[in-house]
Amino acid sequence: MAEEEPVGQHLQHYRNCGLGKALQEALEELKANGNVGEAESGMINECYDKCINEALEGEGVVKQDSSLEEWHNRTKLTIKGHLQMFRGVDNVWTLVLNTGSMGKGGMQKVSVKVEPGEVEYTVDALKIVAMKKDA
């Protein structure tokens, strides 16, 4: 049986989310106690990378839960903020928005509005990472 090629660096960005960080902390603890080695830790990380990317690609989550389909087709996000940084490398785009000046000394936080509805979130900073889906 041929070995699978390792997961590319571009698939590892979800390791920095809450779930990914919790997984890394758990793996570090297991390695410190001698319960898993580097090879097993690497296999777990690769599996996590593949699973999270497959679940979130395109409409992956929507396909698995029909109750989300209606929400997916009618929901709109409006994001406003000061664009601090934009980077596009190897079909991976990173945008960082942060609090910006509004004139007359006022500060405008980053706002994310979910429509339909009146829900609006404000945060000091927002990082968006997007990547091209391979055909």
- What is the distance between the alpha carbons of residues 130 and 8, in angstroms, rounded to a whole number? 15
- What is the distance between the alpha carbons of residues 83 and 126, in angstroms, rounded to a whole number? 10
**What band does 32 get if pLDDT is binned at 50, 70 and 90?**
very high
Instruction: State in words which class domain 9-67 has.
Output: mainly alpha
**124: which DSSP letter?**
S
pLDDT reported for residue 93: 85
Q: Return the minimum-mean-pLDDT range out of 60-69, 89-98, 108-117.
A: 60-69
* Residue boundaries of the structural domains of the chain: 9-67, 75-131
What is the overall mean pLDDT for the chain?
76
pLDDT reported for residue 5: 43
pLDDT above 50 (res 3): no
pLDDT reported for residue 127: 87
State pLDDT tens for residues 103-123: 666 677 888 877 777 778 888
The superfamily in CATH containing domain 75-131 is: Transcription factor IIA (TFIIA), beta-barrel domain (2.30.18.10)
- What is the distance between the alpha carbons of residues 125 and 81, in angstroms, rounded to a whole number? 8
Topology match between the domains 9-67 and 75-131: no
- What is the distance between the alpha carbons of residues 98 and 122, in angstroms, rounded to a whole number? 10
